[in-house]
Structure 1
Amino acid sequence: MSSITFDDRFMRELPADARTDRRPRQVQGACYSEVEPSAVADPSLVACWPEVAELVGFDEAFVRSERFGQVMAGNALLEGMKPYAACYGGHQFGNWAGQLGDGRAITLGEAIHPETGARHELQLKGAGPTPYSRSADGRAVLRSSIREFLCSEAMFHLGVPTTRALSLVLTGEQVMRDKLYDGRPAPEPGAVVCRVAPSFLRFGSFEIHAARGDLGILRGLVEHTIRHYFPHLLARPDEAISEAHIIAWLREVGERTAEMVVGWMRVGFVHGVMNTDNMSILGLTIDYGPYGWLDNFDPGFTPNTTDRGQRRYRYGYQPDVAYWNLYKLTNAVAALVDDAAPLQEALDHFPTVYSELQLDMMAQKLGLTRLAGAEDEVLVEGLMAMLGRVETDYTLFYRGLAEVRCEGVEADAVDAEALRAPLMAAYYAPESHREEDWEAIDAWLRAYVARVQNDGTSDVARREAMNAVNPMYILRNYLAQEAIDQAEQGDFSKVHELMAVLRHPYQEQAGRGAFGAKRPEWARDRFGCSMLSCSS
C-alpha cells in the first residue's frame, strides 16, 4: 500500500466548477465539481473482492486494516486523493434530460499500480450529496449496493466488458426510500460500494457540453479521452488530434459497444436503463441499477418498473438502443467535424460489427464452427421461435443442448424422448406442453443434430466449447434477492457464497447445484426477483 500513488489527471486537464459547495445547481463551464465524501456514522466492511484490490495495487495487509474500511466508506482519504463529482447530461428513455451528473458517486482519484503502472479510477457510490444530487441525499441503500457489488464481478468472470467492484461497506445509518413508488417510504440500511474502471466517462459526458454550446470544453474532453484512453489511435503521444482521429475514435467506441452488447445477449443480461448517461465511452457495462437476467427466454423482458409500459430497454431491443445512443454521441461531437459523411460512416460501422459478432456468438453458443447461409438462418430463427414457444430457461437450455448426443446417430431415427432428455431441466412446466410444442422441439433438435454432424465436430469437443461460453451460474434475480433479504437481517453469508460461485460461472461446482437451478415459483412476480424500480 505504501507505494501506491494517486493522480488527478482529469482534474488537471479539464475545467473545474468555480464553486466548491454541495448545493444542487446547474454547473456551467466545467467537467467536474470538487467535493469530498460525507462521513458516515459507523462504517463496517462487509466484503472485498481481493482480485480487484490486487488489480488496483492495494496489498492484503491494507485491505484487512481498519483504515481501508474508513476510506471505502468515505470517512478518510489517502494521500494524493482529490475527490470530485463529474458533470454530464443524458437522454433518458429517449428524451433529453439536461444536466444529470454524479449525484451520489464521488471519484476519489486515479490509482496508479506501483508495479504495472496501470491506472484505475476509484469511485464511491453512495458517499453523500454533490452539486448534481438535485433533491436527493446522495446515499445508496444496501439492496442496490449488494446488486452492483455482486453483478460487476459476475459480469467480469463471464467475460463481458464491465466496470469492477472493490468493496461493500455498511454505513451504520438508515436511508429513507420509496422503493415501490407507492408513497410509503421506509428506512433501509445504507451502504457504499467502491467501483473501479479506467474511466467512468459516458456518452452523456460529451452531450452536456454540446447541448450548452461549450465547444471548447467539448473539444478538450474529446482530446483528453483520445489521448489517454485511445492512445493507439495516435502516431505519437504529442500528435495534434485531427478530425480523422475523432472519426476513428467514434468507430472504435461503436466496436466496443457492440462487443459489450453481444456479451449481454450471450449470457441473458438486461441492463434495464440504457440511457446515454449510462453508456460507457470505453464500452464497459456501467451503472448496475434495475438490471435483470433472463429466467425464461423472453425478448420483451425488461426488469425496470419505470419501463414497464414502453419496454424501451427490453432484452431483444438492446442492440437497437445501443445504436440510437451512438447516434446521440455522434451528434454531440459533430460540431468538431466539418464533413458529415465520415460521421455517418462511423455510426453505421456499429450495425455491421454487431451483426458479425452476434453471428459468431450464436455459432459458439450452438457449438458450431460458423453460421452462414440460408439454412443456418432458418436454424437460428427456428431456435428463437422454439425457445419462446414454451417457458424455457435461457441459461439451462444451452447447458442441456451441449449434452445432446449428435455423434454416431441418425437424426431422423433417434428416439424423440431420448433426444430431448438433456433439455428437460430447462422447461418450467413441461407437463403443460402441447403435442405440437413437443413436435416443434423435436423437429428443431433433429435439424440441429444434422447440422452438427455436417460440422464433423465430436460431442466431447462440442460440449467443451459450448460450456466455455454458456454459463452454468449467473446472478439470477432471485439469488440476489435472497442475499439481500439475509443481509438486511445482518447475515452476509449468502453474499460471500455467491462471490465464490460467481468466480467460476462456466464450471459445474460440487454441492452448489442450487445456484444453477431454475427460478422458483415464489420468485415469479416478487419485487426484486422479476422487476425493480430505479429507486435506490
Structure 2
Amino acid sequence: MSISTQSLEQAPFQNSFVEELKGEASRNKNPRQVPGYHYSRIEPTPVRDPHLLAWSDDLGGFLGLARPEERGPAVNALAGNLVTESMKPFAARYGGHQFGHWAGQLGDGRAISLGELTAVDGSTWEIQLKGAGPTPYSRRADGRAVLRSSLREFLCSEAMYYLGVPTTRALSLVGTGDKVVRDMFYNGNAQEEPGAVVARVAPTFIRFGNFQMMAVAGEKDNLRALADYVIKHHYPELGEPSPEVYMRWFEEVCRRTAVMIAHWMSVGFVHGVMNTDNMSILGLTIDYGPYGWLEPYELDWTPNTTDFSSRRYAFGQQPQVALWNLYQLARAIAPLVHEPEALRGSLDQYTKTLAETQHAMMLRKLGLTELNQEEDRALIEGLHEAMAESQVDMTIFFRRLSHAAPALIASSENQNALFQEIVQAASYGTSPEGEQMLHQWLQRYTDRLHQESADPEAIRESMLSANPKYVLRNYLAQQAIEAAETGDLSVLNRLMEVLKTPFAEQPEHDELATKRPDWARTKAGCATLSCSS
C-alpha cells in the first residue's frame, strides 16, 4: 500500500505545547529572564541561502513528507525562512545543572520548535530547528549553529536510531549560506565556519530542566501544568494526573532512563555532556554535542575537552550521573506528591532496571542464555576488567567474537590462534599483561559457550544482530564534515546509508569498520571535541 506524501510547507501543524501551556507572546528576541512562562513565542531569523544538504528518507516517509528539492518552499521552512499559517513557533524555557552546578535559566537558546506533525501511524512528533537564530534564551550567543556540529547531530541521531538506541531523530540538514564565528576549542582561535540548521524530531523535547526551572522559581502552578501536559500527551496509560499518578510517572521516567543508559553502555556510546537540561523526560538520547564511541576501552574516557579536568561525564560515569540527574528531577517534582521521600523508591527502580537491562544486553552480545546468574555476572565483570586492561576496540572486539563463536565451540585445537586473531584485530597496542588477561577471559568464555544448547551458527547470528559492525566514529564524522565544507556530500551520503544497517556485513564498506587510524588520534574533531557549535 502506498502512502501519500506532502511537502513540508503544506503540512498541517498542531500546536499542543503552545495552546495548552503558558507562554509569553511579545516576540522580543532580546536575551532576558522570562519568569512565569513555559515558553516564548518567537520566529526563526531568516538566512541568506537555504539549501538542502541531507534528508532522512525513512523519517520523512514516516511523517508523510516528500523529500524536498535542493531549494524551494520546503527547504525555506526547514531553515526558518518560511513560517506557515499552521505553525506557532516557540522557544522553551528551562534551567539545569551544568557539570553539577545549578546554572539558572537556560532555555532554547538556538532551537525553535515549529509545532507538531501527525505521522502515518497517528502519533505526533515535534519538529524543532536547531540553529534558527536568537531567542530570549540565547544569553550572549547568536542562536546559530555551524555545519560541523549540525552534521554530527544529523548523522548521530539517525545512526543511534538504527542501532536501536532510544533517541530523538533528525529529518534534515540545511546549509544557510551564512558564516558563523566559533572558537572550536575555546582557546582564543575564533574562526568563521559555514552555518547550518538541523531539523530534529521527537514526540517532545521537554527535559528534566523544564521542571527544575519551574520548581526553583517557585511556580508550582506551572510545574503542575507541565507535568499534567506530559502525562496527558506522552504517558496517557498512567491515567488522569494526581499525586499517585505523578509517582508512577516518575517511576516510568526512571525506568526509561535506565533502559537508555543500558543501551549507551552496550554499544560504547559516550554522550559527553549529561547536564540535566540535556536529559529527555521521555528517556531519549537528546542534544548530540561532543559525543563519541569508545575506541580503546577506557572507563574514564570522555570526548568532551570541557570535561577533561573532572571527567564527570566519562563513559564509566554515565550510569551514576543519570541517577544523580533523576534525583534532581525528583527534587523538582516533589511539591506535586504527598510523600516526596517515596520518590526514592523510583530511584532504586532505576538502579535495578539498569542492572537487569545491562546484564540481559551483555548476555545477548555474548550469545549466552542465563544459566547461572552469579557465574554469568562474574564472567561479564571479568570481561569489562579485561577490556579495560587491554584497551581493545569495543565494537571490533564484540564483532570478531561473534564471528569466532562457532569455531570456539567446535574445536579446542586452534583456540589460542583464534584468541590471538581476535585480540590483534581489536587491539590498539595492548601490554603483555593486558593481552594475557584477555586470553584468560576468552578461555573462560569458551568454556561457558560449551554449556549452551543452541546451534553454533544460531549463536553466531544472534550475536551479530546484537554487536554492530559500524558505528559513527568521530573520525568518520570529521571526514564527512571536511568533505561537506568543500561542497562534497558523497562522504556524508555514504555514511548515512551504511549506518542504516549497522549490523549487516556490507563488505564493500569494510574500511568504515576499522580501528581509528593513528593520524586521527590527536586530530581536532577526530577524537575529542568541545561544546562549541
TM bucket, shorter chain: over 0.9
SS in 1 for 2:436: helix
Question: Quick one: structure 1 residues 407 and 109, their matched pair in 2 at CA, closer, same or farther if it must change by over 3 Å?
Answer: same
1:503 corresponding residue in structure 2: 500
1:182 Cα offset (Å)? 1.2
Mapped to 1, the partners of 2:74 and 2:187 lie a distance apart of 38
1:147 corresponding residue in structure 2: 152
Name the aligned partner's letter for residue 454 of structure 2: T
2:186 corresponding residue in structure 1: 181
1:64 Cα offset (Å)? 6.5
1:5 corresponding residue in structure 2: 12
SS in 1 for 2:24: coil
Render the CA deviation track for 1:181-235: whole Å, top value 9, x for unaligned.
111211000000000000000000100000000000000000011011000111x
Could you tell me whether the CA contact under 8 Å between 1:16 and 1:32 is conserved in 2?
yes
Scaled by the length of structure 1, the TM-score of the pair is 0.95
1:343 Cα offset (Å)? 1.3
For residue 78 of structure 2, the aligned residue among 50, 72, 83 is 72
| Alignment of structure 1 residues 339-358 onto 2, 5 Å | 339-358=339-358
1:95 corresponding residue in structure 2: 101
1:38 corresponding residue in structure 2: 45
1:78 Cα offset (Å)? 2.7
Question: Quick one: structure 1 residues 437 and 28, their matched pair in 2 at CA, closer, same or farther if it must change by over 3 Å?
Answer: closer
Could you tell me whether the CA contact under 8 Å between 2:392 and 2:423 is conserved in 1?
no
1:458 corresponding residue in structure 2: 455
1:386 Cα offset (Å)? 1.4
Could you tell me whether the CA contact under 8 Å between 2:52 and 2:69 is conserved in 1?
no
Render the CA deviation track for 1:508-536: whole Å, top value 9, x for unaligned.
10310111010000111222111111111
Could you tell me whether the CA contact under 8 Å between 2:271 and 2:291 is conserved in 1?
yes
Render the CA deviation track for 1:392-415: whole Å, top value 9, x for unaligned.
1110000111122232334xx654
Question: Quick one: structure 1 residues 168 and 421, their matched pair in 2 at CA, closer, same or farther if it must change by over 3 Å?
Answer: same
Could you tell me whether the CA contact under 8 Å between 1:406 and 1:459 is conserved in 2?
no
Mapped to 2, the partners of 1:502 and 1:9 lie a distance apart of 33
2:256 corresponding residue in structure 1: 256
1:285 corresponding residue in structure 2: 285
Mapped to 2, the partners of 1:310 and 1:371 lie a distance apart of 40
Mapped to 2, the partners of 1:21 and 1:340 lie a distance apart of 38
| Alignment of structure 1 residues 117-266 onto 2, 5 Å | 117-234=122-239, 239=240, 241-266=241-266
SS in 1 for 2:167: coil
1:48 aligns with 2:61: no
Question: Quick one: structure 1 residues 219 and 170, their matched pair in 2 at CA, closer, same or farther if it must change by over 3 Å?
Answer: same
Mapped to 2, the partners of 1:439 and 1:140 lie a distance apart of 47
Could you tell me whether the CA contact under 8 Å between 1:407 and 1:458 is conserved in 2?
no
Could you tell me whether the CA contact under 8 Å between 2:270 and 2:293 is conserved in 1?
yes
2:26 corresponding residue in structure 1: 19
Render the CA deviation track for 1:401-451: whole Å, top value 9, x for unaligned.
1122232334xx65412343244311122xx642x4443222211111110
1:345 Cα offset (Å)? 1.1
Could you tell me whether the CA contact under 8 Å between 1:46 and 1:492 is conserved in 2?
yes
1:470 corresponding residue in structure 2: 467
1:104 aligns with 2:106: no
Mapped to 2, the partners of 1:101 and 1:418 lie a distance apart of 53
1:388 corresponding residue in structure 2: 388
1:81 corresponding residue in structure 2: 87
Gaps of at least 5 residues in structure 2 are 1-5
1:306 Cα offset (Å)? 0.7
1:65 Cα offset (Å)? 6.5
Mapped to 2, the partners of 1:441 and 1:184 lie a distance apart of 43
Name the aligned partner's letter for residue 454 of structure 1: Q
Between 289-298 and 121-130, report the one with greater CA deviation: 289-298
| Alignment of structure 1 residues 282-321 onto 2, 5 Å | 282-321=282-321
SS in 2 for 1:511: helix
1:523 aligns with 2:520: yes
SS in 1 for 2:23: coil
Question: Quick one: structure 1 residues 509 and 428, their matched pair in 2 at CA, closer, same or farther if it must change by over 3 Å?
Answer: same
Render the CA deviation track for 1:258-293: whole Å, top value 9, x for unaligned.
111111111111000000000000011000011111
SS in 2 for 1:80: coil
Mapped to 2, the partners of 1:486 and 1:6 lie a distance apart of 35
- Superposed CA RMSD in Å reads 1.5
1:375 Cα offset (Å)? 2.4
Mapped to 2, the partners of 1:374 and 1:231 lie a distance apart of 38
Gaps of at least 5 residues in structure 1 are none
Percent identical among aligned pairs is: 50
Mapped to 1, the partners of 2:507 and 2:455 lie a distance apart of 26
